[in-house]
A = this chain, B = another copy of it.
Amino acid sequence: MSFRRKLKLYVITDRRLIDEVKGVKAALEGGATAIQLRAKNIPVSEMIRIGRELRRLTREYDALFFVDDRLDVALAVDADGVQLGPEDMPVEVARELAPNLIIGASVYSLEEALEAEKNRADYLGAGSVFPTSTKKDKYVKVIGIEGLREIVEKVSIPVVAIGGINHENVEKVLKTGVDGIAVVSAVMGAPDPREATRRLRIIIDKYLP
Contact = CB atoms under 8 A, between A and B. Distances in A.
Contacts of A70: 70, 72
Contacts of A72: 70-72, 75, 89, 94, 97
20 contacts: A43-B87, A44-B87, A44-B88, A45-B86, A45-B87, A45-B88, A45-B89, A46-B87, A48-B89, A70-B70, A70-B72, A71-B72, A72-B72, A72-B75, A72-B89, A72-B94, A72-B97, A73-B89, A76-B89, A76-B93
Identify whether the interface residues of A are mostly helix, strand, loop, or mixed: helix
Interface residues of A, number: 20
A144 interface: no
Contact of A44 (B43, B48, B89): B89
B88 A43 contact: yes
A115 to B, nearest CB: 13
Nearest to A71: B72
Contact of A69 (B44, B46, B71, B76): B44
Nearest to A49: B90
